[in-house]
Amino acid sequence: MSLPEAEVMPVPEKPRDTVPTQVFREVMGHLASGVTIITAAQQAAPVGMTATAVCSVSAKPPMLLVSLTAGSRTALGVEQSKAFAVHLMAHDSQNYAEQFAAAGDHFAGVSYRRDEQTGVPVLQDVLGYFLCLVEHAVDIADHVLFVGRVVECEVKAPGHHPLVYFDRKYRKVALSESQPGSLEPWGSTQDYGLPGWGLPT
């Protein structure tokens, strides 16, 4: 190979280190997140956990995803029931979020019904919920992304404050303050001039 040819060869990319887990946790803690409880059914038993790793995927058709530790009871339940429910928790239901994040019987004293087809427990005292049938399961590192098609959803307590997690604490949002926004509550917003589904308000 002649020198001129060698000169135009691309410089090999320097491999880049991954950030330390502890630093990632600290920064990720600064992504404010609505607190949810994710439920499913494992061998007919209700399972569930408190989580913030919930994300809208598409609106047409309505789909959302949850990221769960592979092998966790809730992940096994989602695999078995091929369905999951995501409950949006209200600020006055912090005790439920704590119960589903701790050891012990998660469903003690919790009102719920079982979905007839999937057996998934649907909690009653929530700000809102989604019931989803799993359409995709994607293994990423030690987690599984479950993507579900939404077959039921409802706002059950309109006007209630959501329970929010930020910087390792439960938080409340100020409902009265703020101006109307034009941002859709998912990933697309107005990427003008190209397909998208942001709705100007």
Q: What are the Cα distances from residue 21, in Å, to 18, 25, 165, 186?
A: 9, 6, 19, 26
Q: Which of residues 59-98 bind its own copies (CB under 8 A)?
A: 59-74, 88, 97-98
Q: Three-state SS string across 142-161, please?
A: CEEEEEEEEEEEEECCCCCC
196 touching its own copies, by CB under 8 A: yes
Is residue 10 a contact point for its own copies (CB under 8 A)?
no
Interacting residue with its own copies among 26, 43, 95, 111 (CB under 8 A) = 26
Query: In the complex, what is the shortest distance from the CB of residue 59 to its own copies, in angstroms, rounded to a whole number?
Result: 5
Residue 196: other Cβ atoms inside 10 A = 13
Interaction of residue 44 with its own copies, rule CB under 8 A: no
45 sits near its own copies (criterion: CB under 8 A): no
Given the complex with its own copies, which of 2 and 179 has the nearer CB atom? 179
Given candidates 79, 92, 125, 184, which one binds its own copies under the rule CB under 8 A?
184
> What string of DSSP letters covers 26-57?
HHHTTS-EE-EEEEEEETTEEEEEEE--EEEE
Residues 108-147 that bind its own copies (CB under 8 A): 117, 127-130, 133, 136, 138, 140-143, 145, 147
CA distance 80 to 37: 18
**CB nearer its own copies, residue 4 or residue 53:** 53
Q: Measure the CA–CA gap between 94 and 35, rounded to whole angstroms.
A: 9
